[in-house]
Amino acid sequence: MVHGRKGNPLDPDLLQSIIGTVGCNAGQERSRNSRFQAPAACNELFSMPAKHIWREGPQKPALPSERIDVWRLALDDSQLDKLSATLARERTVLAPDELARAARFHFEKDRIRFSRCRAALRALLSRYLGLSPGDIRFTYSPSGKPEVSADQNPHSVRFNVSHSESIALIAIGRCDNLGVDIEKVRRDVRAEELSERFFSTRERASLRALPARLRVVAFYSCWARKEAFLKAIGEGLGFPLSDFSVSVHPDVEPRIEEIRGDATVGKRWSLVDLSAADSFRSALVIERPSTSVATFDLTA
């Protein structure tokens, strides 16, 4: 998600332009199938490609081998009174360090979203691992990437999580490095300024070459693709953003163009755009030359 966090170099003035409240409000109360669609008044620029079909996911999913399962979760926090019983139940599965982290959030909505997302992650992993949600232990890489503790994970189940506002995506696969990212599109983003700062020379040139009407959505597509790659390798910002390039055009099959000047190494990786919700761009990266993706809604 594009926001300020410790270690993230985004400067607050630039952040203000991203985090401002302009844009389509996807948080309205709608039916389950329509809650991820933008209101009709939103510009068509922000609608998503109708590519993936999100259906209710299986209670007992088969362990993926070649496939990546991506689960979509609505983190609605609009009806706090109705949520409190659910929240109390969900929080019982969180580990002490997760509860402590939740308590550190300044805003209640962030606390709720983090707790709901962690509880959902545990519930989901329990379906793949055959463990109780509260028994799952996470270990963290030096840059903070969580994994299931090796002694509980004989089949090398891997996962990655991303959240942006009221939507979270949880990608689950096996063995290979994977990363997922979702970004809310904001019309008032200073795309050129941010891309000068965070994108590679090649990406900046590709962005400038696009028609102006595509640039905002291309900016977010590029951002989500880059972030998904960073999250797949798990080094966070230890891997400089200018050291690799992804394709920028929002409507053309995405790919990793080069890593440290090597155009062949990108072929080791698969990069997939996910059509998660109107007004959002999201991407999945896995260290494997090709992959199939199944997309599910996490309902209960």
Ligand X SMILES: CC(C)(COP(=O)(O)OP(=O)(O)OC[C@H]1O[C@@H](n2cnc3c(N)ncnc32)[C@H](O)[C@@H]1OP(=O)(O)O)[C@@H](O)C(=O)NCCC(=O)NCCS
**Which is nearer to ligand X, 3 or 137 (by Cβ)?**
3
Q: 17: part of which helix (H) or strand (E)?
A: helix 12-19
Does residue 254 contact residue 247 with C-beta atoms inside 8 Å?
A: yes
Question: What SS3 class is residue 270?
Answer: strand
Pick from 248, 254, 276, 211: which is nearest to 48 by CA?
A: 276
- Residue of the chain from 234, 250, 254, 266 that contacts ligand X (CB under 6 A): 234
User: Tokens representing 147?
Assistant: 């994994």
**Which is nearer to ligand X, 231 or 281 (by Cβ)?**
231
* Binding residues for ligand X, total number by CB under 6 A: 28
- Residue of the chain from 163, 174, 184, 186 that contacts ligand X (CB under 6 A): 163
Is 223 an interacting residue with respect to ligand X (CB under 6 A)? yes
- Residue of the chain from 161, 185, 256, 294 that contacts ligand X (CB under 6 A): 161
Is 46 an interacting residue with respect to ligand X (CB under 6 A)? no
User: How many CB atoms are closer than 10 A to CB 173?
Assistant: 25
- Residue of the chain from 18, 117, 125, 157 that contacts ligand X (CB under 6 A): 117
3-state secondary structure 159-210: EEEEEECCEEEEEEEECCCEEEEEEECCCCCCHHHHHHHHCCHHHHHHHHHC
User: Tokens representing 162?
Assistant: 């991303």
Is 240 an interacting residue with respect to ligand X (CB under 6 A)? no
Least distance to ligand X, CB of residue 170, Å: 9
Does residue 288 contact residue 171 with C-beta atoms inside 8 Å?
A: no
Least distance to ligand X, CB of residue 161, Å: 4
Least distance to ligand X, CB of residue 122, Å: 11
Residues that bind ligand X (CB under 6 A): 1, 3, 5, 7-8, 10, 114, 117, 143-146, 160-163, 179, 181, 198, 223, 226-227, 230-231, 234, 236-237, 241
